Structure formats: structure tokens, C-alpha cells
Structure 1
Amino acid sequence: MTARVEQIREERSCSDCVRTLSILLYWCGAQAAISEREIHDLARTGPDLKAKTVCQFLRDQGILLQDPNLHRAIDLTWIDTTLAALPENLADEVGQWVKALRSRGRHEGEARGYDAIRPYLASLQPVLTAWAEAAVLSLREITRHHVDAAVDGQSGRARRQLALGLRSLFRTLKRERVVFRDPAQHLRVGSPTGIPKPVPSDLLANALRQTKTPLGRLILVLAAVHAVPVHELRTILTCDLDLARGTLVICRGLRWHTLHLEELTHQIAADWLDYRHRRWPASANPRLIVSQRSALDPDHPAVGKTLLRDNVPQGLTLVGRLRQDRILTEAAETADPLRLMRLFGITEKTAMHYVTTAHPERTAKLPR
């Protein structure tokens, strides 16, 4: 049934593209190059008109007049628009934070993508706007009281994201010598106790049986068995998976982490590759996980996070539950932080946190 629905959607999308192309050629002809901006303007006039696929087709035919402004990263455009809405001095300071995260500051480091910076800035935007309306001229004026007031009333994921954003903003700007102190240094992130919580065994046991699609099963085993975070699931390449050797290599910044696949994950990965090849035999997207839209897209985009969440049974989340439960289970079995670091590619601090949580009796009497 799912395959049939996807087929109908593809046929409908193809019909919309043909309709868009017919209108363009009727009004503009095929003798001269067609402006990319005009195609996007036309697509906005009706829900059954498509711009991106038509532009890709005309580009391949050599009759597309490209508009560079349309090819700027969506996340970069959003960040620039958000900064432009702030007062000049605040915008300059926040802009230096963005540059530092992009490894363009005083200290070199791992450069973050604009798609990773945008969620932080999105959580900070209401706070920065409120500070600007309160006549705050510079982030140097912000005190611990301002930070506490900003997170007061927030809870759950919203509070965690805001606390992470505030800590990143002031820690980075202090390192860049833009501010003199870090008023967000005291903020706690996550739950008040910071203790990882396991997934109920019955819920996890039924998850694989409930997941019917090859993609859903692959996402589930990589998250629940190998603790692969969601942002890495989106960027894994097909060439990183070696079924002959039973390994999956994941790039983590400047490091490479190798997963050794057990029988279950190996079989599910092979099933997904077989389905992927049969479903989209002409796909040139190098990413391991593709969707109906990304498989045949010449720009080879990564799948969205929503697609990954929708393929996991309700009651489970990729980052907050499955990955956390897997590391916590291993910590309870081995109590060896070095093993956790080798298996999951986590830092020493994170490994010790999980070991301490799994075996509180070993550190209960340590002086504080």
C-alpha cells in the first residue's frame, strides 16, 4: 500500500512539472534562456505548479538563466534575515558568534553547518528581541539575572534548547573577547538531575515488530543498537557501508568512527540497500538514507529529520530515548568508560556520566 501511494504521488508530481513547463514554453518560448526567477514566481501562483524540477530540467538543456540569489543556503538566508532585524550592535555581536561557530573566529575548530546553527539562533531570537526592546545595547550588559529571567517559565525541550543556545552564545563570545564574562555559565541543561532515563524493555522489544518499512527498521537498529544520533543518520553515505566486512564508517568532524555490524543490523542494512535499488534504480544520491524526493534530486539533499521521526513507532525518539538507552545499557553491563568511548565514539566526560548513572554506588561516597 505504501509503495502504491508513493507511486501515485510521483505520477502527480510529474504531471505538475509538465503543466508548469507547458505554461513557461507557451509564454516565453524555447528560443531564449528562461529566467529562473520567473519560474519560481510562476510556481507561487498555484499549488499544482513545480519550480525546482523544471529548473533542473531546463538547466540540463542549457536554456536556464540562473539566479545566484536563489541558490543561497536556506538556513544562511534565514540567519541573515534574523540578524538584520536586530539593532546594529547586537547583530554584530551575534554575527561574531555565528562566524566563530563556522570556525572563522580567533580560534580554529570544527566548523558547524548553518543548518546546525539555525536551531540555536531560533531559540535565542525571542530573547534577543526582548533584550533589544528593553534598550539593551550590547551583550556585555547582560547579567545572570537576565539569563535566569529568559529561561524562567520554560520547560522540557524548549528550555533545553534555549539553555544550550545561551551557553554557546556567551561562552563563544567570551573566548572571542567580545564580552568580559559568561552570565550563562551556571545554567543547567536538560532535567534538573541530568540522569539518563532508560526505555521500557517492553516498548523497545515491540518497536522492531511494529516497524514494517525497510527504512524504519534501519533507522531503529542504528539508533537503538549502535546509538547513532539523528544528524549522523542523515549524512551517512552509501559507500560508508561495507556489507562484505560488516562495517559502517561514520564521519564525526575530523574523526572517523567504525561500527561493526552484528547479524541483525547487517541483514536489515542489506534489505534496505536492496529496497533502495529496486525502488529508485536511477538514483545518484550518494547518501545511504534517501526519500521519494531526495532519491532523484540532482542536488543530492539529505533527508529531513521529520522523515526519520515518522518512521519510528510513537513513544520513541531517536536522540532522547533510543540512543540514550543503548549507551546506558552498555554502561550497566561493563562499567568501563573506555569501552563506551570505543563503541559509541563519545567523549570521556559523557562516558563517565553514563557509568556514574548506571553505578551510583561507586561514586556516592566521593567528596563533593
Structure 2
Amino acid sequence: MLDAFTAAYPRAWLADRRSVPGSAAVVLHALLDRVGAHAAIPERDVRSLAGTVPAGTAATRRVIDFLDERALLEPDALSETPAQLLTDVQRQVPSRVPDLSTGRRDGHDERALHERIVRFPEPMAEQLRAWAMVMRGQGRYQHAAADYSRIRRYLRTASPALTSWEAAGMDLRQVTTDHARAELAKYPGGPARELLTALRSIFRALKQERLIFRNPTAGLRLPAGTHLPLPLSSDRLAGALDRLDGPAARLIVGLVAIHAVRAVEVARLGLADADLAHETLAVRRGEHIHTVYLDELSTGLVADWLRERRRRWPQATNPHLLITSQTYRHPASPPISYCARRAAFDQIGLLPRQVWADRILYEAQETADPVHLVRLFGIHPGVAVKYVQTAHPDKALPPIR
């Protein structure tokens, strides 16, 4: 058993008891020494050893997965909770609702969805159950099933309109386009578009199931919202790099603020993408590679981080440029997480999107040429035109028909 477990990891990882594989090997050895490998091992016994190794719960999770693959794990009662929840839901839901196995979160959303549906009177409740069945891929035409969380969100968004029609003594067969338009008029742009999306989903499903004769949302259109980029005040950006703690945070914020590289793209950069000899950075966007030409400040930020990376993790196997103590020797070699890169911007009280948009808008104020923005930042031409028109409203082109 130990040989089968350790065969998947390099010897150096197993020798380091602080790493997840090393700690997991210690936990597995202790379990096999205590109870053997001839009977199922209770999951609670595995979890009880989390405090005995540096990697803690991460190591015990690795052992639990390993034992479960070999049918040598006796799950805790908690592992049966999703099935129990699903059984409870099925007792309350009519037989038309499909019997689908769900996870713990999806089971909670399913129960909450049907609890909300039963609050509506018949026949509206029956119509909503039919809509939920269609969303789950069990209608007249099969398609990919939507998550219960999405169906629940749609129902929550549409509930005010449904309640209004219910108070008027109507069901969904009696709703007309004028009724739908009157409900949409109660909300501003964003909420109105969300309501229209939810109502379209409901009425299209009922039309497909032939429960209504006409879709009242067909042909309804709302004006698209226009989100203009906003510049940041100079006092919020002044000295931002000096307020950051550590070379990793300075590199993340610096690449976004200076070269308009998106934060998620910074996280995906590999060691091979940084070429200090030629002072370039290769940003991969699908099959396209955008080359960023580093200035003196940016080159210094990359060099500072590489020195820190080599000092802290000389044996790192993760090929990404940015790594943490949790990912530097991770078998799957993941990039840094959203929380790790967002923490850098939290130090200066800004969002990555704000810094990215401010950099492009500043460049657009210096030039009215969208082609320059496309070449410099590698952005879509439509985005470049939008920023140029925001920076120079007097030079905006008339709408193209």
C-alpha cells in the first residue's frame, strides 16, 4: 500500500515532511501500522491524525482519496448527508421532478427552490415545477441540465413579478406582453435586464412544453447598459508600489498598473515567459501571445521577485512565475489563487479592474489612435475604440448602421 502511494511522488517530496505528500505518507504509515490494510478504515480515524503532521487536513484529504479509490474507506455519517437531503426533498416534491443525485450544496439549492415554488398557488406552482424540470434537462427536448443554484436565482429574480400576477388572480397562461412590460418598467437598467432574462427562461420553457399558447416576452428588448471607464484620482495611485508589502505584490500590481496585463494573466505567467535578457514578457491569450516590452522599473520588479523566489524556494517545481508556500511544490502545479492576487490590491484599496482600466484610459488620453492601444496592450479593437471615445468624446464616431 505504501509503495502504491509513494510511487506517484518524487523521493524529494516524500522526504520533506512539511509537504503534503510527505505528511500524507506519514499519516498512511501510522494508519496501516495501527489497523492494517485488510479492513475498511473509518474516515474519522484518518481525520483524527491531522494534528500530527505539518500539512494537517491537506495530508489527511490525500489519504482519504487514496483509500477511497481502493474501497478501503468507511465514510463518516456526514458523507451521507447529501443523499439524506435528497430523500427528504423527494418526499415533498411531486413525482414529475426528476430523481437526480446532487452534491451537498446542490441539494440545499434544490430543497430551497421547491420550498419557494410551493408558496405559489396552483396552477402557477405546477407551471413553475414544469419550468424547473425543463431547466434540469428533463423537458420535451433534452439539453444540458442547469444547476439548481441558477434556477433558484432566476426564480428569486422573477418572484416580485410572479407575486404581482398572483395577487391579480392570474396564472402564467394569462400573462400578456403588456403585463411583462409593466413589470419591467418598475426597475432600472440592470435589475430590469435580470428580470427579463428570468422571465424569458420561464416562458420559453412553458411554450416548449405547450403549457402556454404564446411567449409574452418574445420581442421584448431593453437598452443595453453603457459602462464607461472611470479614471482614478492621482492621490490613490501615488506611491502605490511603495505601500505594497513584498516583491510578489509589487510585481502583480506593477504589471497591471504599468502594462495593463490583467491580474489573472499575471497569475498564469510561467518562468519561461519572463526574458530579462531581452526585457520582454510573453502573455499568453489562448493561441495568441502578446509581447510586453518591459521598462526599467518593470524589469527591476521581475528581477526582485526572481531573487526572492530563488531564496525562499530553491527547490520549487512549480513552473509558474508567481508561487506561494502552498503551491511551490504542489503536484498539480497550480497558479496562485484569486485570493492571493487580490490581496496585493487590497493593500492599496483598489480593485484589479480599476487599475487596469485606468492605465488604458490614461494612454487613450495621450493618443486618439485605437490602433496604438491595440498594439501596446493587445486588447480587442472594440475595447480600444471605447476607451478612445471615452477619453475624447468630441472625436466619437457616429453609430454605424
Normalised by the length of structure 1, the TM-score is 0.64
Task: Tell me how far 1:323 sits from its aligned partner.
Answer: 0.2
More moved, 259-268 vs 82-91: 82-91
Q: Describe the SS at the equivalent of 2:302.
A: helix
Q: Residue 47 and residue 252 in structure 1: after superposition, are their counterparts in 2 closer, same or farther (change >3 A)?
A: same
Measured in 2, the distance between the counterparts of 1:147 and 1:48 equals 57
Measured in 2, the distance between the counterparts of 1:47 and 1:246 equals 46
Q: Is the 8 A contact 1:147 1:183 kept in 2?
A: no
Q: Could you tell me which residue of structure 2 aligns to residue 309 of structure 1?
A: 342
Q: Describe the SS at the equivalent of 2:154.
A: helix
Matches within 5 A, 1:17-96: 20-21=27-28, 24-29=31-36, 42=45, 48=51, 50-54=56-60, 66=69, 87-92=132-137
Q: Is the 8 A contact 1:124 1:166 kept in 2?
A: no
Normalised by the length of structure 2, the TM-score is 0.59
Q: Could you tell me which residue of structure 2 aligns to residue 271 of structure 1?
A: 304
Measured in 1, the distance between the counterparts of 2:38 and 2:223 equals 60
Q: Which has the higher contact order (CA 8 A, sep 6+)?
A: 1
Measured in 2, the distance between the counterparts of 1:242 and 1:19 equals 40
Q: Is the 8 A contact 1:144 1:183 kept in 2?
A: no
Q: Residue 346 and residue 329 in structure 1: after superposition, are their counterparts in 2 closer, same or farther (change >3 A)?
A: same
Measured in 2, the distance between the counterparts of 1:253 and 1:146 equals 44
Q: Could you tell me which residue of structure 2 aligns to residue 355 of structure 1?
A: 388
Q: Could you tell me which residue of structure 1 aligns to residue 355 of structure 2?
A: 322
Q: Describe the SS at the equivalent of 1:225.
A: helix
Q: Residue 230 and residue 15 in structure 1: after superposition, are their counterparts in 2 closer, same or farther (change >3 A)?
A: same
Task: Tell me how far 1:188 sits from its aligned partner.
Answer: 4.0
Task: Tell me how far 1:264 sits from its aligned partner.
Answer: 0.7
Q: Could you tell me which residue of structure 2 aligns to residue 260 of structure 1?
A: 293
Q: Could you tell me which residue of structure 1 aligns to residue 153 of structure 2?
A: 126
Q: Could you tell me which residue of structure 2 aligns to residue 5 of structure 1?
A: none
- Which residue of 246, 250, 270 corresponds with 1:217? 250
Measured in 2, the distance between the counterparts of 1:98 and 1:255 equals 33
**Structure 1: tracts of 5 or more residues without a match:** 1-9, 69-75, 100-117
Amino acid at match of 1:127: Y
Amino acid at match of 2:137: D
Q: Is the 8 A contact 2:20 2:59 kept in 1?
A: no
Amino acid at match of 2:280: T
Q: Could you tell me which residue of structure 1 aligns to residue 122 of structure 2?
A: none
Task: Tell me how far 1:195 sits from its aligned partner.
Answer: 1.9
Q: Paired residues, what number?
A: 310
Task: Tell me how far 1:207 sits from its aligned partner.
Answer: 0.7
**Structure 2: tracts of 5 or more residues without a match:** 1-16, 72-101, 114-131, 210-214
Measured in 2, the distance between the counterparts of 1:318 and 1:65 equals 41
Q: Is the 8 A contact 2:320 2:335 kept in 1?
A: yes
Matches within 5 A, 1:118-157: 125-128=152-155, 131=158, 148=184, 152=187
Q: Residue 287 and residue 96 in structure 1: after superposition, are their counterparts in 2 closer, same or farther (change >3 A)?
A: farther
Q: Could you tell me which residue of structure 2 aligns to residue 246 of structure 1?
A: 279
Amino acid at match of 2:386: H
Q: Could you tell me which residue of structure 2 aligns to residue 108 of structure 1?
A: none
Q: Could you tell me which residue of structure 2 aligns to residue 197 of structure 1?
A: 230
Q: Describe the SS at the equivalent of 1:206.
A: coil
Task: Tell me how far 1:298 sits from its aligned partner.
Answer: 1.3
Q: Describe the SS at the equivalent of 1:311.
A: helix
Matches within 5 A, 1:155-174: none
Identity value in percent: 28
- Which residue of 320, 324, 327 corresponds with 1:294? 327
Q: Residue 82 and residue 278 in structure 1: after superposition, are their counterparts in 2 closer, same or farther (change >3 A)?
A: farther
Amino acid at match of 1:52: A
